[in-house]
Amino acid sequence: MRSLSSSRVLRIHVAAIVAVALIIGSATTVAARKPPPPPPPPPSGSAPTVSIAATGTLEPDQVYAIVDVTVTCAVGSTVSNGWLYVLHGDLGGSGTFAAPCTGTPQLAHSRVVNGNRFTLGDWTATAHLRVTTNGQTTQVQASRTITLVPAVSVRIADQGQLTGTSGGGAAFAVAVACPSGATGQSSSLTVTQGSASGSATFTPICDRQTRTLVLSVAASGGTFHTGSANASVSASVGFNGGSFSGSDSRAVTILESSTGDTTPPSTPPNLSANVFGDGETWLDWNASSDNATPSGLIVYEVFLNGRFDQPIGGGQTAAILYADLGVVNTIDVIAVDGAGNRSAPASVTVDCSFGFGCQ
């Protein structure tokens, strides 16, 4: 009887232990199958966005275009990359942009480059924005048709010169550039010096090159004299029914007249040419010196194979022209001072006699 009781007690204990083990095992299995808690939801409105302005500005050289992009991303995020592509078919270029993540729209500027040159008018722009948040990256994009409109650059030379011994007027050089396809409109230069003031009008030439005009300004309300003066210029062009302009204002120095001067300026030194296969030629030289005319008023006349090609002034010592294909080209640059005296020519040759282009 005692052994039977002990055996029964042992069985009860064993059963209890097994039951407890089953309960623990079951709880462990449930705990193992329970999914981890989900991550907290992102803050409302945190998805990044990007949009592109309807117009961009085409710089006068037509290699670069400035296009505005608006970026919105949540505080704590970082813009890791921003790309903008401006294309017309297979032609076009690209640029980058960046903006801080503040939770509000931020304006960014992208300078897009196209070595084959942009043209005024409609292009397709596509922006790609990559934003990193808590180690995770999100990429969004936007695309639209944009219109490239002309930028106009204009600069007054730092020095002018009296045009006569009486001091009634003065000459000033103004350098202007605007993209091909724009049309020059009436533009003006105004000069004031004490009670004397005067203005001159001109029309820009838009061919993506920097063109220099020497403008004579007659004084009213007094006379111009040597010394400091204030000058301002506004150059306007038209495109696609709109008007676009550039401006410059600065203090200038008026120098003595070169009337009676018969000494020519020095030959433009160190003339060099860099030619491309299609005949496009980039010229560079150093400034000529003159006994009477300031460097800003020396005009450089560029000749291609004996033909006048273009004037360069306003302190500029570079030019772009297109050589004749199939021949060896001779390019001459002559400096002309305010009295009309002309230097001996600086010359360089460009060989385009090869059947496949220039070198």
Q: What is the pLDDT of residues 17-48, one digit of tens each?
A: 444 444 444 444 433 344 555 544 444 447 99
The residue whose two tokens read 């301002």 is 232
Please list the alpha-helical segments (H only) found in the chain: 2-33
Count of domains for the chain = 3
Residue 106 counted as domain residue: yes
Residue 330 counted as domain residue: yes
Residue 193 counted as domain residue: yes
Residue 25 counted as domain residue: no
Residue 296 counted as domain residue: yes
Residue 263 counted as domain residue: no
Residue 43 counted as domain residue: no
**Residue 255: predicted pLDDT:** 86
**Residue 293: predicted pLDDT:** 85
DSSP 275-310: E-TTSEEEEE-PPP--SSS-GGG-EEEEEETTEEEE
Domain with residue 177: its CATH number is 2.60.40
pTM of the model: 0.72
123 residue type, one letter: W
Is the Cα torsion angle 200, 261, 286, 334 positive or negative in sign? positive
Confidence of residue 190 (pLDDT cuts 50, 70, 90): very high
How far is 61 from 150, CA to CA, in rounded Å? 10
Which domain, by its residues, includes 293? 272-351
Mean pLDDT score of the chain, rounded to an integer? 86
Dihedral (Cα; 65, 69, 75, 77), 10-degree rounding: -60
Q: What is the pLDDT of residues 292-312, one digit of tens each?
A: 888 878 889 999 999 999 888
Domain with residue 317: its CATH number is 2.60.40.10
Q: Do both 248 and 326 map to the same domain?
A: no
Judged by DSSP in three states, 174 sits in strand
Cβ atoms of 195 and 160 within 8 Å: the answer is no
Q: Do both 146 and 160 map to the same domain?
A: no
